Chains A and B, each alone.
Chain A
């Protein structure tokens, strides 16, 4: 009978490990997001406003190219495009550009633009000061809307990166289901 108790105790310990590993799998999600924020693992940039003054003090003489592209999941309903393809920028300085959206349907389109940066490592150095991607957008029928974007490149950007591409994918709200 002593053996039986021992067995049950072992089993309990192992079930505890199991249970923690199950919880760990869910903990992987925030963990992954933190790792992505730190390393730019997946090219996801923060959807949060960055402080402006931090990036206006030192302006580097380095020049690099920033490219703008877009992808919309239903091109026949909404045309969503950058106004310019490429911009030469100096790290540390604030720049602005606009994306242009045209609703070709007869009803409102609600949705959100999700940013992605390539190369992935550059993601954390691209600071968005003001961006239409911070909130959901509503496009009225037939209207052409200009969506402004203010950004700066952190001067800590590694030297070898000479071109950064910022891509926005526009998702309609039907598919957008906010997590928490």
Chain B
């Protein structure tokens, strides 16, 4: 996106590759994050296609079961830590300083570091694919004792996770500092756009739980190499303890992956409905209560480990409670649309797609909360269907919506509406073709993370595989569209969207290198 920056400061900066390596500019770093996420999206996607190819038919056709397990493990790690999190951090870098009326991020030099750790961490992670004993194959959840059976890749996996964690913690610190300290005069907390709010809460979640993950994986490392027995029954440890630590991180992590999407959708829906967001304050409170509840529901990932009855009941109730604030959000979005004057440009289509399919994922989440029923759902494709519904047509659709929404602002050029809409419809059709049948095979009894299955699951698996390839190819349209828009196209106005409100639309398209050198006046 080099055409983004054309202004008076340009000649002061090193050009070429050095500009990107040394940059401390929030827009440059945002761009880097977004491109990094894009590359990882295709790498993780290829892994998904390996999985879906093997599962196209019963029987082992293409890969060894061990490699298959590596693929499921790496696909998850890449998509979570390499795609969704960096993409949201990229959006935050680009938009938050502008949205709060500041000149740049609070700690620009740290910002540079937090990005450049990422390629390093992921090279380390991906290099394990070529190691003795193969890439990690114990699942992204790293449950011991299985994860301790990993070969040479193990320390690389652990340090890669440490570095990813470090990067996201640094990113989060920067975002919190920016939001708390860099706001223009008059930009009170309750005037901030919801994207800023959701990111503020997300950043606090990151700061609170990434260190816990770091601690957990460090214990795995010492168990494997230094003879400790944190998770080894023989030495007085408990393998289930790791699951508690992991999910204490893992459940808030789930909200780290989804809360910023709520912010994105809350920005897009009012724009295209030409009507203010319904229930702004309740949106903020709902986000905060979701974040709070996320700390007390972790064991719903572990209903089958054999907790005492009281534990199962507590975590069931707490989990069901999350449906209330989540419901509030969905109702608010629908009411925002109600009696608006809507148009359906690509960002709006993705946002509506998000609401519908995220809600479907929410429903299956509610079903999973019911402990007795969860005994049947747990570790099946029903769960796979559930979390892919909240992550793909959830988080990923929200990221795409955000890209379409702000791309004209970033590049100064309009994208092709026809291509965008084609991308949306193909993605929506194929994403459902891929993930909806997974509910069925899961309920019919197919466990997750298996390279081969019995015959009654064959038909729906074939459909899911066809859908996955379709979805994968549809994303090439997205890539092409973005490159094309960066290269040129109809010039975008500063306002871009008729109904858009917020500080970003008061700047030129593309915005100047330093966003607000003089603080804007807030109404």
Residues of A within 8 A of B (CB): 3, 6-8, 10-11, 14-15, 17-19, 21-26, 28-29, 32, 36, 39-44, 47, 112, 114, 116, 119-121, 169, 171, 175-179
Contacts and interface: CB of A to CB of B under 8 A. Distances in A.
B466 interface: no
A41 B110 CA distance: 43
Nearest to A24: B212
Q: How large is the interface on B (under 10, 10 to 19, 20 to 34, 35 or more residues)?
A: 35 or more
Interface string B172-193: 1110110011100000000000
Given A41-B311, A175-B232, A25 B216 contact: yes
Nearest to B180: A10
Central interface residue in B207, B227, B228, B234, by most chain A CB within 10 Å = B234
B162 to A, nearest CB: 11
Interface string B216-255: 1001000000011110111111101100110010000000
19 contacts: A11-B110, A18-B169, A18-B210, A22-B214, A23-B215, A25-B211, A25-B214, A28-B244, A41-B311, A47-B236, A119-B308, A120-B307, A120-B308, A175-B235, A177-B228, A177-B232, A177-B235, A178-B235, A179-B236
B396 interface: no
Nearest to A40: B308
B486 to A, nearest CB: 32
A159 to B, nearest CB: 15
Interface string B442-467: 00000000000000000000000000
Nearest to B203: A14
A13 B240 CA distance: 33
A29 B241 contact: yes
Given A21-B212, A41-B307, A176-B235, A29 B169 contact: no
B233 A32 contact: no
Contacts of B210: 18, 21
B208 A21 contact: yes
A10 B26 CA distance: 19
A71 to B, nearest CB: 10
Contacts of B208: 17, 21
Contacts of B106: 7, 10-11
A29 B219 CA distance: 10
Nearest to B216: A25
Contacts of A28: 212, 215, 241, 244-245, 248
B352 interface: no
B107 interface: yes
Interface in B394-432: none
B209 interface: yes
Central interface residue in B110, B228, B238, by most chain A CB within 10 Å = B238
A176 B212 contact: no
Nearest to B178: A7
B361 to A, nearest CB: 28
A122 B442 CA distance: 35
A112 B229 CA distance: 14
